[in-house]
Amino acid sequence: MDEIRNRLIDYLEVRKIFLEPNISLIKLSMEVGTNTTYLSNIINQYYKCNFHSVINNYRIQYAKKLLLEGKYDVAEVVIKSGYTSRSVFFSAFQRIEGTSPLNFIVQKRILSIRTYPTNIKDTLTAF
C-alpha cells in the first residue's frame, strides 16, 4: 500500500499528471500500476476524498500559483491548470476557495498593498 501511495504522490506532485485534461481514475491506476478499486481506496484513505476532488484540488492550487504570478490571464490559467471548460474551472475554484478567481487576485493584491512597508526604516529592514 505504501509503495502505491508513494507512486500516486509522485504522479500528482512531481509529474503533475493532474494537468492532463483527460486524466481519469483508469489512466492514473494504469500509470501507478494497480487497479481502479485499489487506487480509489488509497485516495479515499490518504486524501479523505474521492479521485475527482483530489484532481480538482491539485488543479486549483496550481491555478492559484499561476494567478499570483501574474503572467497569464484567467483564460490561459484555465487551460494550463488542466481544465477544458471555463465554467467547470470557475465552479471548482468557487467551491474550493470560496471566491471567484478574479476576487482571489484582487484580495491577494490588497493584502500585499497592506503589508507593504510604510517608512524607509521598514523598507530597509524588509530587505
pLDDT tens sequence across 83-102: 999 999 999 999 999 999 99
In the prediction, which pLDDT does 110 show?
A: 80
Q: What is the rounded CA–CA span in Å between residue 4 and residue 10?
A: 10
Band the pLDDT of 117: cuts 50, 70, 90: low
In the prediction, which pLDDT does 116 show?
A: 56
The tens digit of pLDDT for each residue in 27-81 reads 999 999 999 999 999 999 999 999 999 999 999 999 999 999 999 999 999 999 9
User: Which residues, including other chains, have CB under 8 Å from residue 57's CB and lie 6 or more apart?
Assistant: 49, 96
What domains, with CATH codes, occur in the chain?
2-114 (1.10.10.60)
Q: What is the rounded CA–CA span in Å between residue 108 and residue 110?
A: 5
What does the block give as the cell for 116? 507593504
